[in-house]
Structure 1
């Protein structure tokens, strides 16, 4: 236990901005991790339907509705790279360098562009070192893979070569939150509280989701919050925040949510982390420090302040240095620095920065604070077609649903930006997604029978955890919308045609379908490939692949029409037809504000 003595601070004590760290550059220490499993479940068997639509002309037998589970045709120890995160070869084979963003002691970061077209991404090259072994780098990848939230950095894939791992990450072109805070501090302009509430609300939502997955970030600071795109604050642009750097993140058990490994950044570190005995609320303290910085332009505990520098210079050990930071945190910051902020924001930051862990709110409790409701004000609207499309998802074949589920993990937050708002408008829970119980109620309000509503929910909740997460939501949207499916087909095709030939041999396609887990056996894969190879050439071209998936979408529409004619489909769903694009003229809107109050942004 550290010996703590009262440390008086001068009346004029204040803190300047910290030196910005290189984005995407973590400090990592070994610790156990439990990756969040994703289990594909078989689709429910469809009920008998009148006037069955004609199958695809290339299919000699009825379409095979395959189970989505571990492929029996996958040999033990086989290396799965199709739609997987690990890729063979070097990243230079698939991406061209745009520019180098930065270099540091923890590696190099490049901005790159896919050679076959598409949006820019970031390559983070991390060399193996004694203080950063291969296992630690892989641990960060596993942590990111386990997180499925629009405000947590997405890792698309990684390449491993001699001595290093190269991660392909989402490009956050708005830069670090730290840079934005520093720029406003230099200009003497305060950030608008509405903007601050957006940033803090999104950050709390992301960390609440992490906590629901038993993960503590442990190194939250303004440098580890990125902006997805550039924002013009004066014009009222809304930010989209992304939490990065899960290298220090620590898994905990629900029945014993205490971390034991000291680590993080002292300026925003919770007092209990310094004692190596902490829980999820240490992240709330760190976010409170960021909120203080957003409101004042200064850190609440800055090592660059002259008084802190004087005290730190006399330290003879790390323990003494830690004790000085602990004393400053127990005493608290100079609250006069946020005196001009609203009373609600001041109350919230004081609660979040409470030195006593038990006095702090959880992320969900902080999000329910009236300051967020005041700042957000207006309720959002979502297309009625979106709920209807989710209900129609159950009509798709198991293969297409499995394919879209994998494609969804490959689509960036920027690509799915229109869906983020709809997802968050539908979400009413702390699980970071849509509670299946809420969806059951919503589907029945559209006119579905309880049995059909349950079937629709099971089709959406792929991993069966009682919560439809973001990628599962995206999968349903892209599968039920012709416009979205065109984008998704290209993403999926690139996973099969890795060299850009425009076609894939049938034998290779069968093998990849098996290895990916999209089908259960060679017979299922063979039936699918024969259906795609409409000309019988022994290979599947991009046009064949696209036509097959388009035909499946048409089958769903025909099945809905047939059921509607005999009165087995609610009028609301029958009228939906193909899903309209967001913002289309005449598209009906549905507000959920009367169901759950003010929505979060």
Structure 2
């Protein structure tokens, strides 16, 4: 047993227990007094030994649940935001632009009247729950909610740019439509969103040009910089089930939806309609009434008039035909559509924006390029190259030679240094960076949306360990560091890395805008809005599951550790100044009071527990081979 513990201490890098302690534990399992442990008892001894190693020498990372931080605040909307101009009005209520009174950040507020709205309350709650579940660069972000006696207020990110409908109408007036390359870029982003939704068992059911926003004006088309909005009709589904709740806009609804028997592939049909519209500025089906339209869309094949499809490739028409398959069983899924040869024929090369925020990487003719330039969006919509990307990283990225790494990550961190630094931070700091990432806009992170989509090989909106390992390895990051990075990025411990988790690693705490975003995070912890965070408020987050420990018995110890690091003046509360200083400090990796360990070692300790159980079971079954398996058990 002493030899086994010595091997474990060397492998897992923890201090070897002294002989007296080890003897005391050994004696508890030496039931016969013969100075050995029976095979039947060894399994429990080995399990207890590994648990002791884990609990004594290894820090358990603090984890978080992103959805539990999108909350309905106790304070009134007007105590946090100033209402500015009205942006629109509909059956749900009124949409305002609002400005945070402290940070100056502008957002979009949807005010829904409890008494006058024609939208049932359960539809509103359904939209909130769905947006909490989704995390994708091309889906509108819901930040927080407020409520009073008259209204429910939903605070969304403010998207600077037109609806796709406005772009198409403007092109239509000039007798023009989108080029195939422009349409393909938009469709890749849209289908990526649909893949993410369907992976979370959600169908949108109302995809149409009015619900697609182009970030930064028409130039956003060139990089697929779009946002899908309005999940008010979205529906959760179970695999293999069909829905009977027909909803949507008739021109974009699949034939089976009109018969109240459909599934998630209704969204793929809508994308097919959008593709036809983008390339021709016309809809594929039309009729004088809804009743007549239902007959047309169910019975008439999709047509490709030569006057509309002049100059449009056969592959594009085949793509449309596949998506507008009337039999939903034969219709491709969103993931299958993304692998269509027509879409794949257009490069996903991420443009170099070192001289221009959004230059075109599309090899179009000069007339088409000048048309895009003439109708380009305002400068307000251009991405800020600020909060996440260090200028030196960008400079290095623009000087790549033929031997440079091909990983998309090279656009964000040439040698992976940002990710390595993130992995070495305190787990509470990493969670706070995740909360900041939740508050960032599409433009805050130069190239990050495109890089994330390229890394996401199966298009489900999540990066697997393999996705990240491949990208980091191509940057030359050592495997030992890759293991730490992947574990650190996975803030909710679900085995994958979401878009928000990915962004968190790229935030530059030295940037001037960091303080404003940090204040929004502080407000999440300051539940009563008095400007101070108390131990009870942090404890409430741990109890709610918003923050959690892998081991419940360590919550109290972790809470005391966090408070000790935050509360520098010792008054029992944390001010914003103390919180800001904690987040800006260098180093600060996870520490235990007795021993500092790397995240890779923590992962190996967990694996040792699993392997140890397997080894002990084998030992019990095989009398003669037990000692030879000692190294396997380790």
Name the counterpart of 1:328. 297
Query: Residues 221-276 of structure 1: CA distance to partner in whole angstroms, max 9, x if unpaired?
Result: 1111112222348xx8544111112111121212x142221111111100111122
Q: Tell me, yes or no, if structure 1 residue 345 matches structure 2 residue 374.
A: no
* CA gap 1:505/1:139 in 2 versus in 1, 3 angstroms: closer
Bigger mean CA deviation after superposition, 411-420 or 193-202: 411-420
Q: Is the 8 A contact 1:532 1:545 kept in 2?
A: yes
**SS of aligned partner of 2:315:** helix
Query: Residues 318-364 of structure 1: CA distance to partner in whole angstroms, max 9, x if unpaired?
Result: xxx44642333431344213333222222211211122223322212
Scaled by the length of structure 2, the TM-score of the pair is 0.67
**SS of aligned partner of 1:165:** strand
**SS of aligned partner of 1:99:** strand
**SS of aligned partner of 2:218:** coil
Name the counterpart of 2:561. 527
For 1:296 and 1:81, the matched residues in 2 are separated by 40
Measured after TM superposition, the shift of residue 410 of structure 1 is 2.5
Name the counterpart of 2:246. 262
Which residue of the other structure, out of 69, 91, 94, is the alignment partner of 1:105?
91
* CA gap 1:82/1:193 in 2 versus in 1, 3 angstroms: closer
Measured after TM superposition, the shift of residue 64 of structure 1 is 11
* CA gap 1:209/1:232 in 2 versus in 1, 3 angstroms: closer
Name the counterpart of 2:113. 127
For 1:227 and 1:511, the matched residues in 2 are separated by 42
Measured after TM superposition, the shift of residue 556 of structure 1 is 4.7
Q: Tell me, yes or no, if structure 1 residue 536 matches structure 2 residue 570.
A: yes
Which residue of the other structure, out of 264, 271, 280, is the alignment partner of 2:255?
271
- Whichever of the two has the greater Rg, that structure is 2
Scaled by the length of structure 1, the TM-score of the pair is 0.70
Q: Is the 8 A contact 2:168 2:278 kept in 1?
A: yes
Q: Tell me, yes or no, if structure 1 residue 550 matches structure 2 residue 584.
A: yes
Q: What pairs up with 1:77-226 in 2 under 5 angstroms?
A: 83-128=69-114, 131-226=118-213
Name the counterpart of 2:454. 425
Q: What pairs up with 1:252-401 in 2 under 5 angstroms?
A: 252-254=237-239, 256-302=240-286, 308-309=287-288, 312=289, 321-322=290-291, 324-336=293-305, 337-376=308-347, 378=349, 381-383=408-410, 384-385=413-414, 387-401=416-430
For 2:293 and 2:520, the matched residues in 1 are separated by 52
* CA gap 1:443/1:238 in 2 versus in 1, 3 angstroms: closer
Query: Residues 121-141 of structure 1: CA distance to partner in whole angstroms, max 9, x if unpaired?
Result: 111112246852222201111
Q: Tell me, yes or no, if structure 1 residue 404 matches structure 2 residue 433.
A: yes
* CA gap 1:439/1:130 in 2 versus in 1, 3 angstroms: closer
Query: How many residue pairs align between the two structures?
Result: 477
Name the counterpart of 1:435. 464
Bigger mean CA deviation after superposition, 288-297 or 485-494: 485-494
Measured after TM superposition, the shift of residue 94 of structure 1 is 1.2
Measured after TM superposition, the shift of residue 212 of structure 1 is 1.0
Q: Structure 1, unaligned stretches of length 5 or more? A: 1-45, 51-61, 72-79, 303-307, 313-320, 569-601
For 2:335 and 2:497, the matched residues in 1 are separated by 18
For 1:82 and 1:147, the matched residues in 2 are separated by 13
Measured after TM superposition, the shift of residue 403 of structure 1 is 2.5
Name the counterpart of 1:589. none
Q: Is the 8 A contact 1:215 1:250 kept in 2?
A: yes
Q: Is the 8 A contact 2:109 2:155 kept in 1?
A: yes
Query: Residues 385-406 of structure 1: CA distance to partner in whole angstroms, max 9, x if unpaired?
Result: 4744334543332222232233
Name the counterpart of 2:478. 448
For 1:400 and 1:63, the matched residues in 2 are separated by 21
**SS of aligned partner of 1:92:** helix
For 2:149 and 2:430, the matched residues in 1 are separated by 37
Q: Is the 8 A contact 1:393 1:456 kept in 2?
A: yes
Name the counterpart of 2:532. 504
For 2:517 and 2:82, the matched residues in 1 are separated by 22
For 1:534 and 1:64, the matched residues in 2 are separated by 25
**SS of aligned partner of 2:506:** helix
Q: Give the structure with the higher percent helix.
A: 2
Query: Residues 530-551 of structure 1: CA distance to partner in whole angstroms, max 9, x if unpaired?
Result: 3223233554333322222233
Measured after TM superposition, the shift of residue 108 of structure 1 is 0.7
For 1:379 and 1:230, the matched residues in 2 are separated by 19
For 1:434 and 1:399, the matched residues in 2 are separated by 22
Q: Is the 8 A contact 2:168 2:177 kept in 1?
A: no
**SS of aligned partner of 2:442:** coil
Query: Residues 88-147 of structure 1: CA distance to partner in whole angstroms, max 9, x if unpaired?
Result: 233222111220011222211111111112432111112246852222201111111111
**SS of aligned partner of 2:154:** strand
Bigger mean CA deviation after superposition, 127-136 or 338-347: 127-136
Name the counterpart of 2:227. 242
For 2:414 and 2:502, the matched residues in 1 are separated by 14
**SS of aligned partner of 2:505:** helix
* CA gap 1:557/1:195 in 2 versus in 1, 3 angstroms: farther
For 1:435 and 1:511, the matched residues in 2 are separated by 32
Name the counterpart of 1:581. none
For 1:409 and 1:340, the matched residues in 2 are separated by 43
Q: Tell me, yes or no, if structure 1 residue 231 matches structure 2 residue 260.
A: no
